[in-house]
């Protein structure tokens, strides 16, 4: 039977970095008995046998009431575990030991891993490893997950302890959760005899930077400036890469696919090339920019800056009925709204969770990003495009804040005090940043490919049926749908064809670009040139506003329903986003026309 190692530890111990270093890029998302959330796991070769490693959520107390703590407890109660791998931040060992002792008392075989050992050594923290191991009752290893130091020894220790571990007694383990153990005094005694910590730990650079970054007046403007510079860098570096990708896709189409027109039936060639390939190709041409964006976001997150933004925004978010964690969830939504919604489980107040879940769908996710990059590149100059994209991100924040302010007394509850670790600033390694960016891009592409293939085929059929109608004309099924929606969308500058595009955006925003390619029968530069003829900048910005704010994709809606456990709340969220999208777009479009634009 496949043996299982569970990774456990407090937040900000480098557990995810350790997991990535130990498993490489072989991780998958799994569903587990007794647990309502999907967890990350990977199979690795440890010695001569395959072992499954499961990365559990960070927690502060095994007997706490936060959702993440309950997830860990339910996992251990319902799933056999052969070895606990306990990840500790060696620079904060005094805070880490109580939880470690709590986990060691479960009676499962364990290995304690002191991560960031290199930083602890620079700070003058010294360990009596034998005394620490004796007090914990398990082997202790020293590693630097960031640089890969100490991993051969750690893998050997895991293999050795795992080979000696008995099978899990789940009944005994469940009994251990019946009462809490008083471990603080024991942790202090163990700390005193096994660890030497200097009276003052100096993080000179971190403290100097924090005087600027956490300044009450300049902190938030600096964050907005950093975000704007990130967009500038993405457009500057991504433009040539995008042009190269477009050229490759066009050459492949002309050389490899165009000759098929003489071989295949017209309808099949249209479906495969003009529908599927053009739709997927239009999305693929923007992958370089998506990659650069996630590289930048991974750099921001791994450097320690993100936790400081949460701390800085806490006071403002409290006035909106939220807390700094809500702002972090909005930032998480830049990648995908789904994990951001799931991240609200760390909040104990149901009212606070619901209010946070209400605003997360306004976060500008990667699927919307590719639509905005396409339109801003097509209709705005290279100098204007980053400004327009930055404005859309600012608007997504403002819309979320306004929604929270409006509904905080109806949905929200008193915000909880924010407890957050502020780790020292670290310069992530290139491999770490690349791996995190790749995971985000892979997640985007895996979702996008599924939705786009199904969506593009459906749109092609709707624009070509019935056969007697002109392709993409008003008599096709797509034309009929667009005709029904046009009276509602015409006041915000969206015509019949773009109404069809938005209709499929209800399923997934990843389909929007592919839908444009199919509806207009063009892709790449040709589609971009046509859009400049079909839309002026006012119509384009109104369309982007509506796309930003209207109903999120079906995956997000399903997650919202599952996390809120309320069909009424889910329906309200959908209705509110639709109404707000139409109203904001109407005010902008009609206001711009009245001003003569």
CATH at 123: 3.40.50.300
Instruction: Please give the backbone phi and psi of residue 29, each rounded to the nearest 5 degrees, phi first.
Output: -95, 130
Domain boundary among 163, 196, 229: 196
* DSSP code of residue 186: H
Evaluate whether residue 208 is within a structural domain: no
Kindly state whether residues 15 and 143 are assigned to the same domain: yes
At 37 the pLDDT is: 55
pLDDT value, residue 538: 93
- Residue 250 shares a structural domain with residue 375: yes
Beta carbons within 8 Å of 168's beta carbon, 6+ residues apart: 80, 81, 82, 108
Q: Any idea what DSSP says for residue 470?
A: P
Same-domain pairing of 154 and 238: no
The total of structural domains in the chain comes to 2
Give the end of a domain, one of 196, 228, 263.
196
Domain boundary among 164, 196, 228: 196
Highest mean pLDDT out of 277-286, 312-321, 565-574: 565-574
Instruction: Residue 260: give the domain boundaries.
Output: 220-416+429-594
Q: Using the Cα atoms of residue 227, residue 228, residue 233 and residue 238 in order, give the sign of their dihedral.
A: positive
Whether residues 138 and 250 fall in one domain? no
Q: Are 223 and 312 in contact (CB under 8 A)?
A: yes
- 164 shares a domain with 266: no
> To the nearest whole percent, how much of the chain has pLDDT over 70?
85
- Rounded to the nearest integer, the mean pLDDT of the chain is 81
CA nearest neighbour of 510 among 374, 378, 362, 343:
374
Give me the residues paired with residue 177 across strands. none
Banded model confidence at residue 268, pLDDT cuts 50, 70, 90: confident
Tell me: pLDDT of 36 over 70: no
Phi, psi dihedrals of residue 535, rounded to the nearest 5°: -135, 145
Whether 126 is in a domain gets the answer yes
Query: What is the per-residue pLDDT across 140-188, written as a single tens digit (0 to 9) for each?
Result: 999 998 888 999 999 999 999 998 877 666 666 555 555 444 555 677 7
Residues 116 and 255 in one domain: no
CB-based contact 278:432 (threshold 8 Å): no
Judgement on whether residues 120 and 48 belong to the same structural domain of the protein? yes
131/16: higher pLDDT: 131
- The answer to whether position 212 is within a domain reads no
Quote the pLDDT of residue 374.
84
The pLDDT assigned to 65 comes to: 61
Looking at the domain assignment, is residue 527 inside a domain? yes
Paired tokens of 226: 């950093």
Q: 487 pLDDT exceeds 50?
A: yes
Within-domain flag for 175: yes
Matching residue, tokens 């910005």: 541
In the predicted model, is pLDDT for residue 441 greater than 80? Answer: no
Averaged pLDDT for residues 54-76? 81
- Is the model's pLDDT at 88 over the cut of 90? yes
**Strand ranges of the sheet holding 140-142, from the earlier edge strand across to the other edge:** 28-30, 39-46, 49-55, 3-9, 83-89, 110-115, 140-142
Are residue 29 and residue 157 in the same domain, yes or no? yes
362 & 462 share domain: yes
Q: Which residues have a Cβ under 8 Å from the Cβ of 427 and sit 6 or more positions away?
A: 303
Position of tokens 């005709």? 483
Between 594 and 413, residue with greater pLDDT? 594
86: which residues sit within 8 A by CB, 6+ positions away?
A: 8, 9, 100, 103, 104, 110, 111, 112, 113, 138
Mean pLDDT of 411-438: 68
Q: Kindly report the number of other CB atoms within 10 A of residue 547's CB atom.
A: 24
Query: What percent of the chain clears pLDDT 90, i.e. is strictly above it?
Result: 21
Q: Based on the domain organization, do 471 and 547 belong to the same domain?
A: yes
Query: Do 29 and 163 belong to one domain?
Result: yes
Residues 228 and 98 in one domain: no
- Assess whether the previous peptide bond of 466 is cis (omega < 30° from 0): yes
Indicate the length of the chain as a whole number: 597
> Any residues with CB less than 8 A from the CB of 194 and at least 6 apart, and which?
127, 128, 131, 132, 135
Angle at 473 between CA 472 and CA 475, to 5 degrees: 120
DSSP-assigned letter for residue 1: -
For 482, residues 6+ apart whose C-beta sits below 8 A from its C-beta are 474, 496, 497, 499, 500, 503
In a domain, 213, yes or no: no
Question: At residue 128, what are phi and psi to the nearest 5 degrees?
Answer: -95, 90
Tell me the pLDDT band of 236, cut-offs 50, 70 and 90.
confident
209-227 pLDDT, tens digit each? 878 888 878 888 888 788 7
- The residues facing 195 across adjacent strands are 127
Which two structure tokens, joined as six digits, stand for 3?
Answer: 């043996």
Peptide bond connecting 453 to the previous residue in cis, omega within 30 degrees of 0: no
If we measure between CA atoms, which residue out of 536, 577, 531, 539 comes closest to residue 556? 577
């Amino acid at each position: 039977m496949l043996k299982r190692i569970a990774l456990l530890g407090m937040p900000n111990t480098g557990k995810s970095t350790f997991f990535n270093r130990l498993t490489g890029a072989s991780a998958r998302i799994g569903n587990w008995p007794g647990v309502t959330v999907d967890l990350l796991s990977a199979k690795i070769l440890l010695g001569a046998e395959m072992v499954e490693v499961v990365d559990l959520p960070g927690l502060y107390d095994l007997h706490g009431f936060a959702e993440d703590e309950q997830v860990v407890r339910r996992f251990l109660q319902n799933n056999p575990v052969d070895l606990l791998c306990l990840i500790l931040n060696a620079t904060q060992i005094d805070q880490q030991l109580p939880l470690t002792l709590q986990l060691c008392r479960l009676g499962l075989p364990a290995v304690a891993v002191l991560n960031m050992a290199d930083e602890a050594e620079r700070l003058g923290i010294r360990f009596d490893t034998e005394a620490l191991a004796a007090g914990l009752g398990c082997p202790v290893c020293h590693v630097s997950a960031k640089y890969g130091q100490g991993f051969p020894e750690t893998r050997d220790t895991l293999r050795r302890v795992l080979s000696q571990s008995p099978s899990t007694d789940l009944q005994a383990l469940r009994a251990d959760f019946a009462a809490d153990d008083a471990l603080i005094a024991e942790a202090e005694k163990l700390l005193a005899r096994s660890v030497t910590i200097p009276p003052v730990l100096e993080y000179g650079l971190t403290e100097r930077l924090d005087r600027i970054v956490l300044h009450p007046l300049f902190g938030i403007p600096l964050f907005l400036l950093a975000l704007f510079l990130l967009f500038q860098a993405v457009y500057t570096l991504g433009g040539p890469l995008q042009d190269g990708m477009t050229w490759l896709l066009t050459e492949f189409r002309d050389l490899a696919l165009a000759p098929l027109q003489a071989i295949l039936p017209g309808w099949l060639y249209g479906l495969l090339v003009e529908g599927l390939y053009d739709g997927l190709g239009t999305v693929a041409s923007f992958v370089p920019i998506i990659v650069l964006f996630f590289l930048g976001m991974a750099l921001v997150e791994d450097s320690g800056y993100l936790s400081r933004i949460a701390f800085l925004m806490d006071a403002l978010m409290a006035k909106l009925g939220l807390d700094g964690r809500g702002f972090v969830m909005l930032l998480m939504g830049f990648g995908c709204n789904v994990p951001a919604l799931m991240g609200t489980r760390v909040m104990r107040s149901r009212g606070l969770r619901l209010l946070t879940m209400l605003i997360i769908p306004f976060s500008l996710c990667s699927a919307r990003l590719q639509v905005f990059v396409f339109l801003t590149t097509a209709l705005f100059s290279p100098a204007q495009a980053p400004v327009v994209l930055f404005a859309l991100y600012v608007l997504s924040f403002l819309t979320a804040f306004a929604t929270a302010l409006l509904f905080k007394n109806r949905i929200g509850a008193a915000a909880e005090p924010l407890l957050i670790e502020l780790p020292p600033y670290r310069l992530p390694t290139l491999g770490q940043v690349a791996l995190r960016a790749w995971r985000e891009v892979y997640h985007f592409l895996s979702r996008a490919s599924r939705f786009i293939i199904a969506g593009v085929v459906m749109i092609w059929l709707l624009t070509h049926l019935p056969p007697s109608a002109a392709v993409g004309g008003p008599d096709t099924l797509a034309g009929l749908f667009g005709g029904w929606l046009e009276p509602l969308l015409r006041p915000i500058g969206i015509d019949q064809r773009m109404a069809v595009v938005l209709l499929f955006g209800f399923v997934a925003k990843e389909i929007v670009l592919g839908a444009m390619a199919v509806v207009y029968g063009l892709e790449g530069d040709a589609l971009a040139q046509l859009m400049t003829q079909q839309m002026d900048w006012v119509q384009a910005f109104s369309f982007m506003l509506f796309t930003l704010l209207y109903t999120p994709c079906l995956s997000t809606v399903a997650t919202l329903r599952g996390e809120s456990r309320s069909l009424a709340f889910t329906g309200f969220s959908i209705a509110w986003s639709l109404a707000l999208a139409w109203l904001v777009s109407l005010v902008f479009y009609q206001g711009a026309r009245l001003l003569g634009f």
